[in-house]
Amino acid sequence: MNCKKVALTLALFTAATIVTSLPVTPAGAVEPIIYPAKGQSKDQIEKDKYACYSWAKEQTKFDPMQAPAPSAAATTSQGGAVKGAAKGAAVGAVGGAIAGDAGKGAAIGAGAGGTVGMLKKKKGQKDQQAAAQNQTAAAEQKRAEYNRAWGACLEGKGYTVK
């Protein structure tokens, strides 16, 4: 085997090793692919990747190695209709006592309170879902900015980045 074939085989093996060892982001997207265009060794590739990780992290104030914060949707409250019914029943019982039938007032208040409680809970869930979507979009934007910085650093060190 001549030197050119050995060098090409080594370069392809190194590139394949890099691609198969890439971390997957939380959103499921694969990190940018780098190719050692100047024949950098595996040790040099790892040193350069870490140096560029540190530089990109400093430039963007984003660390892809940190776990994302839990989404706001995970903290959904329970029992909106039940709580609303209990409050409505109490108010209805007082109003019914004044009118002469506390039981009937409590029943009416429980129904109205349950409906209001359920509507408030649904609105709260929609608000939490919107906040979680905004948080996800912001994290994806920061990751994209970090990836651009990381790629620019690696290109400056003689790699091809896609």
37 in Cβ contact with 159 (< 8 Å): yes
Domain spans of the chain? 3-68+152-161, 72-137
User: pLDDT tens, 52-75?
Assistant: 999 999 999 999 999 565 554 444
Cα 34 from Cα 160, distance rounded (Å): 6
Mean pLDDT score of the chain: 75
Q: Is 139 left (phi over 0), alpha (psi -120 to 50) or beta?
A: alpha
Question: Is the model more confident about 115 or about 90?
Answer: 115
Q: pLDDT value at position 21?
A: 41
- Is the pLDDT score of 17 beyond 50? no
Half-sphere exposure of 48 (CA within 13 A, CB side): 23
Question: Is the model more confident about 144 or about 78?
Answer: 144
